[in-house]
Amino acid sequence: MFRILKRVFLGKPIETERALEERLPKVLALPIFASDAISSTAYATEEILLVLMLAGSAAFPYSIPIACSIVGLLAIVTISYLQTIMAYPSGGGAYIVARENLGVFPGQVAGAALMIDYILTVSVSISAGVAAITSAFPSLFPHRVLICIMIIAAVTLMNLRGTKESGILFAIPSYSFILSFGAMILYGLFHSTGSAPIPVVPIEAQQPITLFLLLKAFASGCAALTGVEAISNGVKAFQPPESKNAAKTMVWMALILVGLFSGITWLSHHFGIVPSHDETVISKLTRSLAGTGFFYYLIQAVTALILILAANTSFAGFPRLSALQAEDGFLPKQFCRIGDRLVYSNGIIVLAITSALLVIAFDANTHSLVPLYALGVFLSFTLSQSGMVARWFRLRTPNWQRSVAVNAIGAVTTAIVFLVIAAAKFSQGAWIIMILLPALTLLFLRIHRHYTSVSGLLKGAFPVFPASSNHVVILLVPGMHQAVITALHYAKIIHADVRGLHIELSPEESRTLKLQWDRWAGDVPLVILESPFRSLTEPVMRYLEEIEKEHDHPVVTVMIPEVVVSGWLNNLLHNQTGLLLKWALLFHPDVVVINLRTPLTPSRTVTV
């Protein structure tokens, strides 16, 4: 049943040989890797205005120079990452660059920062998408958390089906967003030509206009840069030539992002848009331009879709990053495993669960999540660009001085922005990230230490396996039936001291069992242990201790007979005691547990 459901929802497995066919052309890579950055235009302007609103309506004109500063920062980051993409054709995310050029610890800090960024991307983008839906349909507002969880589940399912298939599914909504927003901005620019800006509704100032307030607004607007690094992380997902196609896609993304973000910010200023907590800036701007007709609902629909699909950037990046760290031994090895559809299924599932928990914890409130958002992004930017500077100094390739200058400017700029965001957003929740980053980094290092220790032990010298004379086979006998008889025949094949073990819960049943055992078991002794407190595991554990005293360093094989009946639901009614015993014996030294599963069919039935 599980296999059938898996095939229905995920599709048939894809052969390893078809991995190259699953590579992405630029037209599909853009919606997968750039949807996060492009979608941030739907809320970045709003985050700037929400901070400026604290200083009253007189502060709103500062949104224009703040947006220009963010556009300049985007240009610096984009140019810096273009160099990274060309230098690392196999994928040059912040983790790889920092690890190779700065060392293990900075590499794990970059990995932790990126992981936090990916998880927050899913939570923020889907919460913002649902906010667009509830702006158009206010009656859905009380159900926003449930809607977010359902959407996360749907996006997870799409990504488990494969990268290329998810790209095809997401391409139409992504390009619809770009075209419809572009049309809205062009219409707004045409409509505003020659007209004076509409005055903002007077708002009482809660605090004066200060440099710190403007820096906070800038820090909030830097959410527009989240996801910019995703393309450099996923270069290997592109069709050959990988680096060139990834670089072109990144240029497209930057140009689209600049156009949409600048246009929305300027139109919001010109039409006097004031943000509120129950309706998005995009919703208000569209109503001011086109009323509440078809175009309004089209904009709300594509906004919700692109924000939801922006989570796909994380579903493309997080599993690849976790697989890289797992290969290096800093995460559990299960993250390296590629699923039936040639995707890192475990990373996808972990990302879905953690982001869903975050949505629940913050009640799907975008404004509460955004302060946590950009800190990890700019830390990874800084480490990546610093690593590139170290790389150029080490390799000294042709024109390396120019490359150093580009990446050094990127590193210094993003480091300053990181400090600004840390200071401006510290009291609003950034302190959580400041604690989480070192905690995750230490966890990665602890996992690596464990793997290193285990690897050393596995390669070391070990004593010879104990001789067969010290081998004791214990067959657990719950009753006399087909599964026990099958296990008994198997136990006799093993050259060892074989014993049956029955835990007595009823003296009458034990007497009957003893008679049946003498008939079928021959010379194999049956040990019957009383259990006055009706426990099954404790008497078994005590008997193992007796065997250890009886033999010098014995190896004990515990055989658990199990029946297999037709139907997965029927099997739930059997073998639960065996599961408890296996769990109890899991960490017991020098004990081997064997499950003998006997299918029950009429042809195999023996009367006992």
Q: What is the pLDDT of residues 517-557, one digit of tens each?
A: 888 787 889 888 887 766 778 888 888 888 888 877 778 88
Whether the Cβ atoms of residue 522 and residue 491 lie closer than 8 Å to each other: no
Phi (first) and psi of residue 6, to 5 degrees: -60, -40
Span 437-453, average pLDDT: 93
Neighbours of 455 (CB within 10 A): 11
Residue type for position 204: E
pLDDT digits (tens, 9 = 90+) for 483-501: 888 888 888 888 778 898 9
* CA distance linking residue 400 with residue 485, whole number of Å: 76
HEC sequence for 220-247: HHHHHHCCCCHHHHCHHHECCCHHHHHH
pLDDT digits (tens, 9 = 90+) for 217-264: 988 888 888 778 888 877 888 888 888 999 999 999 999 999 999 999
pLDDT classification of 160: cutoffs 50, 70, 90? confident
Task: Say which residue, 505 or 281, is predicted with more confidence.
Answer: 281
Query: Poorest-confidence range of 8-12, 166-170, 178-182, 400-404?
Result: 8-12
| Residue 337, token pair as written in the block | 């495993």
* CA distance linking residue 450 with residue 330, whole number of Å: 9
Mean pLDDT for the chain?
A: 83
CA torsion sign for 480, 486, 488, 489 is positive
Task: Say which residue, 339 or 451, is predicted with more confidence.
Answer: 451
- What domains does the chain contain, in order, with CATH numbers? 24-450 (1.20.1740.10), 469-604 (3.40.50.620)
Task: Say which residue, 21 or 587, is predicted with more confidence.
Answer: 587
Position 163 scores a pLDDT of 60
Pairing between strand 591-599 and 555-564? parallel
Whether the Cβ atoms of residue 410 and residue 381 lie closer than 8 Å to each other: yes
Q: What is the DSSP string of 20-39?
A: GGGPBPHHHHHHHHSHHHHH
Residue type for position 608: V
Q: With 60 as the cut, is the pLDDT of residue 603 above it?
A: no
Span 602-607, average pLDDT: 48
What is each CA distance from 475 to 468, 524, 550, 595, 597, in whole angstroms? Answer: 17, 10, 18, 10, 13
Only one residue has tokens 């390669």, namely: 459
Q: 0.75 exceeded by the pTM?
A: no
Position 68 scores a pLDDT of 94
Span 77-97, average pLDDT: 84
Whether the Cβ atoms of residue 261 and residue 41 lie closer than 8 Å to each other: yes
Of residues 243, 229, 222, 231, the one with CA closest to residue 384: 229
Position 92 scores a pLDDT of 60
Q: With 70 as the cut, is the pLDDT of residue 18 above it?
A: no
Q: Is the peptide bond before 241 cis (omega within 30 degrees of 0)?
A: yes
pLDDT classification of 310: cutoffs 50, 70, 90? confident
Q: With 90 as the cut, is the pLDDT of residue 425 above it?
A: no
pLDDT digits (tens, 9 = 90+) for 324-376: 899 999 999 889 888 766 678 899 999 999 999 999 998 888 777 877 777 88
Span 575-581, average pLDDT: 70
